[in-house]
Structure 1
Amino acid sequence: MANQILVPFDGSPQAQEALEYSFETFPSATVTALYVVTVPEGYWAAFGSDETITPAIGRATENGETILEDALALAEAVDHDLETDLVIGEAHNEIIAYADEGAYDTIVMGSHGRDGISRILLGSIAEAVVRRAPVPVVVVR
């Protein structure tokens, strides 16, 4: 049985379902909700400067903190403890590194919310995590 569960949490319905699944499936595990503030890289970074990117990261960090407060409220509603953390970087890389460094047993994450033929595909972040994670990944749809 898993003792340490990492749930990448962005406030989406899929992330909320992943968090609820973690509480139900691993009732005695320590669950951590992780929010990743994405920083523009490569091509997109060329359109910004320190003067524009730094304030945007500050606003995104504040938004992430609010989203994590929602995760804490969800945990409180089902009487489960929840740890939270916020990191800055490229989402899939940060999730993988966090899971590896934190000695997590399992990552539980939501799939991308799509309909029709595209629903058979994972979201790009979920797919990258599934392919590269050092631990088992449960994708909740």
Structure 2
Amino acid sequence: MTHVLVAMDDSDPARAALRHACEHYPHADLTVVHVSDPVDASLFTRVPDRSSSEERRDSSQSAAVFEEARAIAAGYDRELSTELFAGDPARAIVECAAETDVDHVVIGNHGRTGVSRVLLGSVAESVVRRSPVSVTVVRG
């Protein structure tokens, strides 16, 4: 493994996924992708065209996610690069995997079951189905 993509948001499963990547792929380059919420969920853009207040909110949220990711990686004496996408999380993660030429994706799973899984769907499941590379799903 030479390049691993870790999907990151502000959740325990995402933090567990990053710790897993740091522990299990000690020599791989790490890239963390964060997907911000779009104004229109049907849109998918690399650079969102939104109002400045929405951009500031998402920018602040993304900065906090990336800061936490760097702190976690530093605990393993690791550095990482970051990517920011907007849109549908599963689609954005798959797109980022293709664009950044990674060997592997690591993603956290909230572990929803039953009705909540049916209603909310599973980003991890969708990434597993669509990813151009192997995916490890980490329970948080």
TM-score > 0.5 by shorter chain: yes
Which structure 2 segments of 5+ residues have no match? 43-48
How much has 1:42 moved relative to structure 2? 5.8
Q: Distance in 1 between matches of 2:23 and 2:2?
A: 13
Cα deviation digits, residues 75-126 of structure 1 (max 9, x gap): 1112112112212222111111110111100000001244x75799895211
Number of residue pairs aligned between Structure 1 and Structure 2: 131
Match of residue 46 from structure 1: none
Instruction: State the superposition RMSD in angstroms.
Output: 2.4
What secondary structure is seen at the aligned counterpart in 2 of 1:131? helix
Match of residue 61 from structure 1: 59
Q: Distance in 1 between matches of 2:69 and 2:124?
A: 19
Match of residue 13 from structure 1: 12
Q: Distance in 1 between matches of 2:81 and 2:92?
A: 17
Q: Is the 8 A contact 1:39 1:57 kept in 2?
A: no
Percent of matched pairs sharing the same residue: 36
Match of residue 127 from structure 1: 125
What secondary structure is seen at the aligned counterpart in 2 of 1:137? strand
How much has 1:56 moved relative to structure 2? 2.3
Alpha-carbon spacing, 1:118–1:31, altered in 2? closer, same or farther (3 Å): farther
Higher share in helix: 1
Alpha-carbon spacing, 1:120–1:36, altered in 2? closer, same or farther (3 Å): closer
Matched, 1:104 2:98: no
How much has 1:41 moved relative to structure 2? 2.5
Using structure 2 for the length normalisation, give the TM-score. 0.82
Matched, 1:37 2:36: yes
How much has 1:62 moved relative to structure 2? 1.3
Amino acid at match of 2:35: V
Q: Distance in 1 between matches of 2:22 and 2:4?
A: 10
Amino acid at match of 2:104: T
Q: Distance in 1 between matches of 2:82 and 2:41?
A: 29
What secondary structure is seen at the aligned counterpart in 1 of 2:56? helix
Q: Distance in 2 between matches of 1:123 and 1:78?
A: 32
Match of residue 3 from structure 1: 2
Structure 1: 4+ residue segments shifted above 6 A: 118-122
What secondary structure is seen at the aligned counterpart in 1 of 2:10? coil
